[in-house]
């Protein structure tokens, strides 16, 4: 674990309601008495770290009676309770309200002006042999994948299902009605327009699913020789751009439920969500944009015009070339992207003379974040040795 700057306690004071700490670096933290009482180390299972008490076991308004600091710990006593609680100072620093440690996996780097980017130069790339053997470089790559929403691997063998071996260190592959691996190549009478020669506008995959696939991997086994360029855009950055330039439309898209639907002979999938989904903090948490799978909208007639104006405004932003990075996957290239953030599309191509074949799979979001954090833990532990 990294050493926190100013992690040492300088001085403290308390009232019955809270404990205040000033750290060596001058920062201040305040811990509510009830919060401290709920986080007594003794109320956690030693093995799992899981909490052993329920909220109803807590006193409603515990009052701090005494505080003492010694060595690496701070001891707190409450009201007429006999047992004091001892808190590790480093733990208190890490859990400082609002100022606690934020894992790098949760930091986002926006790239609004995609057209200024050269994918091979400005986005994360590793060859498969390095990706497999060098955990430090894989950690850097995975960190960029979660922060920037896209990253590439080269030298993946152009063999069927090689994608599963390649993405194994990244997380858990989702099984869906398309299978664990789906083929993207042109077929007669496709059940999905992805399996044709058509160009596809920028979109996210499978908004009709719940949960929506967190990450998508696409492995290019055979690149098209005529057309078939890949296009990507940062949906979070474009949504934030819309929030700045047209807050009313932004609000409409975050508040209007949209039904997405997919039907085939062996699937009946549907899920309702707004096109732009916010976290409880108000940050953009997901963009769901797939014109092919929006069901007929169920809008009150007097809200139709406002919704369509906002929807059209967002769609026009997604068509702006300055927000798009164009690249072309070559044989053996694999791209991984955040499917709730990074929109993808392609230009049309001709498969009449030369076939194009990609294989894809989806990974669960939590498993990718977990593997990244686990790898960080292992790399930092090895570095400390």
Where on the chain is the footprint of Fe ion (CB under 5 A)? Answer: 205
Q: Which residues contact 180 (CB under 8 A, 6 or more apart)?
A: 164, 173, 174, 361
Q: Which is nearer to Fe ion, 148 or 205 (CB)?
A: 205
Q: Which is nearer to Fe ion, 93 or 344 (CB)?
A: 344
Give the nearest distance from C-beta 194 to Fe ion in angstroms.
6
Q: Which is nearer to Fe ion, 137 or 198 (CB)?
A: 198
Q: Which is nearer to Fe ion, 73 or 293 (CB)?
A: 293
Mapped onto helix, strand or coil, the DSSP state of residue 279 is: coil
φ, ψ (nearest 5 deg) of residue 145: -60, -45
128-134, Cβ contacts within 8 angstroms, sequence gap of 24 or more: 128/153, 128/154, 128/155, 128/156, 128/166, 128/334, 129/155, 131/166, 131/169, 132/169
Torsion over CA of 247, 250, 254 and 257, rounded to 10 degrees? 120
Give the nearest distance from C-beta 210 to Fe ion in angstroms.
18
Nearest-angstrom CA–CA distance, 114 and 209: 28
Q: Which is nearer to Fe ion, 195 or 308 (CB)?
A: 195
Give the nearest distance from C-beta 215 to Fe ion in angstroms.
13
Can you state the percent helix, strand and coil of the chain, rounding each to 5? 30, 30, 40
Give the nearest distance from C-beta 205 to Fe ion in angstroms.
4
Q: Which is nearer to Fe ion, 289 or 307 (CB)?
A: 289
For residue 178, give both structure tokens: 């398309």
Give the nearest distance from C-beta 119 to Fe ion in angstroms.
17
Give the nearest distance from C-beta 4 to Fe ion in angstroms.
42
Give the nearest distance from C-beta 32 to Fe ion in angstroms.
47
94-98, Cβ contacts within 8 angstroms, sequence gap of 24 or more: 94/4, 95/39, 96/27, 96/29, 96/31, 97/29, 97/30, 97/31, 97/35
Give the nearest distance from C-beta 292 to Fe ion in angstroms.
9
Q: Which is nearer to Fe ion, 193 or 374 (CB)?
A: 193
Torsion over CA of 212, 217, 223 and 229, rounded to 10 degrees? 60
Q: Which is nearer to Fe ion, 203 or 241 (CB)?
A: 203
In this chain, which residue has its C-beta nearest to Fe ion? 205
Q: Report in angstroms the alpha-carbon separations of 104 from 99, 108, 208, 237, 336.
A: 14, 9, 30, 18, 19
């Amino acid at each position: 674990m990294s050493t926190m700057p100013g992690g040492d306690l300088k001085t403290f004071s308390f009232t019955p309601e809270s404990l205040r700490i000033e750290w060596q670096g001058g920062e201040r933290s305040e811990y509510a008495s009830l919060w401290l009482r709920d986080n007594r180390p003794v109320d956690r299972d030693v093995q799992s770290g899981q909490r052993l008490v329920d909220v109803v076991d807590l006193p409603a308004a515990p009052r701090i009676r005494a505080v003492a600091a010694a060595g690496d710990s701070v001891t707190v006593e409450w009201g007429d309770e006999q047992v004091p609680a001892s808190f590790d100072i480093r733990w208190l620093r890490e859990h400082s309200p609002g100022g606690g440690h934020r894992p790098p996996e949760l930091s986002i780097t926006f790239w609004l002006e995609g057209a200024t980017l050269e994918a091979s130069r400005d986005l994360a790339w590793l060859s498969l042999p390095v990706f497999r053997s060098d955990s430090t470089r894989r950690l850097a790559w995975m960190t960029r994948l979660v922060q920037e929403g896209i990253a590439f691997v080269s030298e993946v063998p152009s063999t069927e299902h090689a994608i599963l071996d390649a993405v194994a260190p990244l997380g858990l592959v989702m099984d869906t009605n398309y299978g664990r691996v789906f083929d993207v190549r042109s077929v007669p009478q496709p059940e999905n327009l992805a399996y044709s020669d058509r160009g596809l506008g920028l979109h996210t995959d499978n908004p009709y699913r719940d949960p929506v696939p967190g990450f998508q991997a696409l492995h290019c086994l055979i690149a098209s020789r005529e057309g078939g360029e890949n296009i990507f855009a940062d949906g979070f950055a474009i949504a934030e751009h819309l929030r700045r330039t047209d807050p009313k439309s932004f609000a409409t898209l975050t508040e209007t439920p949209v039904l997405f639907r997919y039907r085939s002979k062996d699937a009946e999938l549907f899920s309702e969500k707004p096109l732009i989904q916010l976290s409880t903090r108000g940050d953009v948490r997901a963009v769901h944009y797939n014109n092919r799978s929006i069901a007929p909208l169920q809008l009150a007639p007097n809200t139709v015009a406002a919704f369509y104006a906002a929807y059209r405004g967002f769609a026009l932003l997604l068509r702006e070339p300055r927000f798009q990075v164009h690249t072309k996957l070559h044989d053996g290239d694999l791209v991984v992207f955040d499917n709730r953030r990074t929109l993808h599309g392609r230009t049309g191509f001709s498969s009449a003379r030369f076939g194009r074949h990609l294989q894809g799979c989806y990974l669960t979001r939590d498993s990718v974040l977990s593997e990244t954090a686990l790898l960080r833990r292992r790399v930092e532990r090895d570095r400390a040795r």
